Amino acid sequence: MTFIGIIAGKRCFENIKRQITEKVKNKGFNFIQINLRSIENVKNIKFEMIIIEDNLEKFKKNEETLQKLCENTEYVMINTDKNPEPKEIEKIANQITYGLNQQATVTVSSISDTDILIYWQKGLKNKEGKRIEIEERRIKKGENSTLKTYEILIIYILFKIYNKSIIEEM
C-alpha cells in the first residue's frame, strides 16, 4: 500500500486525487492531505512520497514534524516557485523540484490554452530503479479540464516516478 501525502489546498488535493484515481484506477495509492490540523495525526505514517504544493511558511510551528516526515520519505516533491529555498528537503536523496523556474527538476518550456510542454531536466531513478532521462513532453489540456499548471506537473511527475503510462491529455 502506497501512502502519498499532499500538502496543498483542498481543491488542488481533490483534483490530483481524482485524476490519478481515474487514470490508474487507484491501484494501491492512498492519498492523504496534510494540513495544519492533520500534521500531528499523520506524523507516524510512513509516506512513500510527500508533495509540497503549498507555501511552507504557515508550517513554521510544525517545522520539526515536517522535517521528520520528509526525512523518512522516499521521494519529496516540492514547488520551488512557492518555496524557493526548501531546507525541509536538503537531506533527501530523491528530491524533485517543480515550478516555472529554470532551476526546477521539472519545469514548463511553453504553455498555451490547449497544451503544456513539460521539460524534465535532471536525471533521477524511478520506483523500479530505472533512470528517468531528460525529456520534453507535450500534454494536451482536456477541453473541460479544470487542472492548473502545477497540478499537471504533479500528476506528470507521479506517473514518471511510478512508471505509469503518461497520459497525453489531462
Q: Please give the average per-residue pLDDT across 124-153, as a whole number.
A: 89
Proportion of the chain above pLDDT 90, given as a percent: 55
Global confidence as pTM: 0.91
Checking if the pLDDT of 143 tops 90, the result is: no
Distance in angstroms (rounded) separating the CA atoms of residues 40 and 38: 6
* Sequence ranges of the domains in the chain: 2-161
Checking if the pLDDT of 101 tops 80, the result is: yes
**Per-residue model confidence (pLDDT) at position 169:** 59
Contact by Cβ (8 Å): 20, 27: no
Residue type, 157: I
- Average pLDDT along the chain: 88
Q: pLDDT of 30-78, one tens digit each? A: 999 999 999 999 989 999 999 999 998 888 899 889 888 988 899 999 9
> Where are the strands (E) in 8-160, listed by range?
29-33, 49-52, 75-79, 95-98, 106-111, 115-120, 124-125, 131-132, 135-140
- Name every residue whose Cβ is closer than 8 Å to that of residue 28 and which is 6 or more positions away in sequence: 1, 2
- What fold, for 2-161? UDP-N-acetylmuramoyl-L-alanine:D-glutamate ligase (3.40.1190)
**Per-residue model confidence (pLDDT) at position 142:** 80
